Every structure is written in C-alpha cells, then in structure tokens.
Amino acid sequence: MYYQGKTYSTIGQVFDEALRLAKNGTRSEIEHFFKAYAMACSNDNGVSIEEGIRIAKGNLGYFSGYCDNATSKLIYETYNTCHPIWG
C-alpha cells in the first residue's frame, strides 16, 4: 500500500499507521487512510471496492485481536469493524 508518500508492505505497518491515526488523527485523515487501504486491498485481490472495504475491515479487526482490550476497542470504533471470527 502506498499512502502519503510512504509504502506499507506488511499488515503490521498498516496497522501501526491505522492505530496512530486512531489515537491522534483527524476524522478526515482516518477516512483518507482507510480509503487508500481499502483500495489497495481491492487492487491486490482483483475485487470490487466494496469487497476491498470488507477485506480491509476484516484485516484491521483480526489484527487488533492480538492487542489489549483498549486498543482493540479503539480500532473497532474508529474503523467501524470487529474481529471477523469472534465479532
């Protein structure tokens, strides 16, 4: 994924930026980042943007499952997602 002049090669890098924005970003920054990530998911998987959004939310929700409860809750609320298996 390429966003704001940076390349994000791993889900860890994407998640770190998503978390940084969830903590300190504006709603506009968060929305632009998420749209870029969803578009990257769409392009990388050869699917529609709607499916890219579903993939992006699932990825952020899944990865947040490895974090403490407060971090998971912040990601879930900021990106309107949940863990794709546990809900």
Q: For 6-15, what is each residue's pLDDT tens digit?
A: 999 999 999 9
The pLDDT of residue 87: 75
Domain holding 45, by residue range, is 2-78
> Does 19 fall in a domain?
yes
pLDDT in tens, 28-55: 999 999 999 999 999 999 999 999 999 9
* Alpha-carbon gap, residue 34 to 56, rounded angstroms: 8
pTM of the model: 0.92
**Under 8 Å between Cβ of 84 and 62:** yes
* Alpha-carbon gap, residue 47 to 76, rounded angstroms: 23
To 10 degrees, the CA torsion angle through 43, 29, 54, 45?
10
* Element housing 62 (H / E): helix 49-64
> Does 87 fall in a domain?
no
Q: What is the mean pLDDT of residues 15-26?
A: 97
Whether residue 2 is predicted with pLDDT greater than 80 in this model: the reply is: yes
The pLDDT of residue 84: 81
* Alpha-carbon gap, residue 46 to 68, rounded angstroms: 33
